[in-house]
Structure 1
Amino acid sequence: MPIDIWLIYVATVLALMSTPGPSQMLMLSNSAINGLPRAWLTAAGDLTANLIQMLAAGLGLATVIATSAEALTVVKWAGALYLLWIGLRTLRRSMKPISHSASRRASLRTLWLQGFVTSAANPKAVVFFAALFPQFIDPELPFWPQFLVLSATYIAIDGAFLTGYGAGAHWLSQRLKGEARRWLDRIGGSCMILAAVLLGMKNAASR
């Protein structure tokens, strides 16, 4: 892949990620509540869903998925409702006495699943990858090497963004104790609810 094309692609991805979305809100919340090392499972779930979406685009499945409106709608709204439930549960848990705070951390499996569902439920994700990649593919060159470069670049940039959001939230959580820490948990739960609302708005807009 020519370096100039790759640099344009990097700039495009950076521009697309400049505004926080549901995945970033979830990473903020899970890092604040569970700590950055555990929240990396959330990032891993998000990137796993991205990888599957990229493979679907590369294999030509994106068009099929995008045209299956009913199935796609179910996935989208199920993901939004799942995030809403997690956010409400987190808020309810933050209302308990501080002595219960040690039990607030989610399991590693749950953290991964939250990241995966949030990314997979993005209503435009598969279509996004299907529309983005062709713009930077040279038909005169072998497809899969170019596709792998584009995919690896996206994963690296997305992972860096998620880690940055998570590190900031983790740094803040380490310096808050007692009642302030409970308020941080409430903010984390609110971020999850906001992520659910963002997904819901995208779902409604895509109809």
Structure 2
Amino acid sequence: MPDLATLALFAAATLALLVVPGPAVVYIVTRSVAQGRSAGLVSVLGIHLGSMVHVAAAALGISALLAASATAFTIVKYLGAAYLIWLGVRKLMSGRNGAEAAEPPMASRTRMFWEGFVVNVLNPKTAIFFLAFLPQFADPAAGPIAPQIVLLGMIWIILGLASDGAFALLASALAGRLRRSARARRRLDVTSGVVYLGLGAAAAFAGEGAASHSSMPASGIAVAGA
């Protein structure tokens, strides 16, 4: 396992990345503003369950296959973009037909959890990020690399849950008054739809070279900063 000094350095580097809002934070904040604290927090949980998939893929070498194949990278990228665009269209329709409840019922929260999960899993930049970032803090002399990647990934996820959860709580608190008005909620739904469409378009038109995609992840991310 990496020594304590390396783990401390990794934690500091992780926090420095997480506090810079990226597409995942935009997604989380949009959910929180439009539908409240629970919507934002379950989205955070879904996104970071997706991060666990990416960490496992990095540890098993699956992400390396994605990085090596421009075709696979592009397919996953467009699937993720299409999903975000679909979410945006659905939100726009919700805004036209009447806003969703300010605090969604359990069934809706479950759906939001899985939406966050899918958005992150279908973000190939997150996979490439973990593949490029985590091994920098692994030490071959300290034992097998795969368990070290998993440990580092879990540290990232724990810190990401805290950081993204704070964004969700802050956004929800600031938007609390707006959600009390049905008209304001409809406008928030329309705004949310536009944001999701923008995220989908940004994902679709991102650069094509897989090797160039080791940029920031879904949480603080690129949907992910997270």
Identity of aligned residues (%): 30
Answer whether contact 1:42 1:114 (CA < 8 A) is retained: yes
Show the counterpart of 1:147.
149
Cα deviations by residue, 1:106-131 (Å, 9 ceiling, x for unpaired): 72332122212221222322221111
Show the counterpart of 1:17.
18
Show the counterpart of 2:43.
42
Whole-angstrom distance in 2 between the partners of 1:23 and 1:107: 19
Whole-angstrom distance in 2 between the partners of 1:60 and 1:89: 36
Query: Where in structure 2 are the equivalents of 1:86-165 lying within 5 Å?
Result: 86-97=87-98, 101-102=100-101, 105=104, 107-143=108-144, 144-165=146-167
Show the counterpart of 2:204.
200
Cα deviations by residue, 1:143-198 (Å, 9 ceiling, x for unpaired): 35533431221001211222122112211332123233333333322322232233
Q: Aligned pair in 2 of structure 1 residues 103, 19: CA closer, same or farther (>3 Å)?
A: closer
Say if 2:167 is the partner of 1:172: no
Report the AA paired with residue 173 of structure 1.
Answer: A
Measured after TM superposition, the shift of residue 61 of structure 1 is 1.9
Measured after TM superposition, the shift of residue 136 of structure 1 is 0.6
Report the AA paired with residue 189 of structure 2.
Answer: D
Q: Aligned pair in 2 of structure 1 residues 181, 108: CA closer, same or farther (>3 Å)?
A: closer
Pairwise CA RMSD: 2.5
Q: Aligned pair in 2 of structure 1 residues 172, 184: CA closer, same or farther (>3 Å)?
A: farther
Show the counterpart of 1:188.
192
TM-score by length of 1: 0.85
Measured after TM superposition, the shift of residue 53 of structure 1 is 0.9
**More deviation in 156-165 or 139-148?**
139-148
Report the AA paired with residue 156 of structure 1.
Answer: I
DSSP-derived class of the 1:202 partner: coil
DSSP-derived class of the 1:192 partner: helix
Q: Aligned pair in 2 of structure 1 residues 103, 76: CA closer, same or farther (>3 Å)?
A: same
Equivalenced residues, count: 205
Cα deviations by residue, 1:64-96 (Å, 9 ceiling, x for unpaired): 222233233122111111111211221232133
Cα deviations by residue, 1:7-41 (Å, 9 ceiling, x for unpaired): 22122222322332222121112222332223322
Q: Aligned pair in 2 of structure 1 residues 131, 102: CA closer, same or farther (>3 Å)?
A: closer
Q: Give the unaligned 5+ runs of structure 2.
A: 213-226
Answer whether contact 1:22 1:118 (CA < 8 A) is retained: no
Whole-angstrom distance in 2 between the partners of 1:123 and 1:148: 18
Q: Give the unaligned 5+ runs of structure 1.
A: none
**More deviation in 163-172 or 190-199?**
190-199
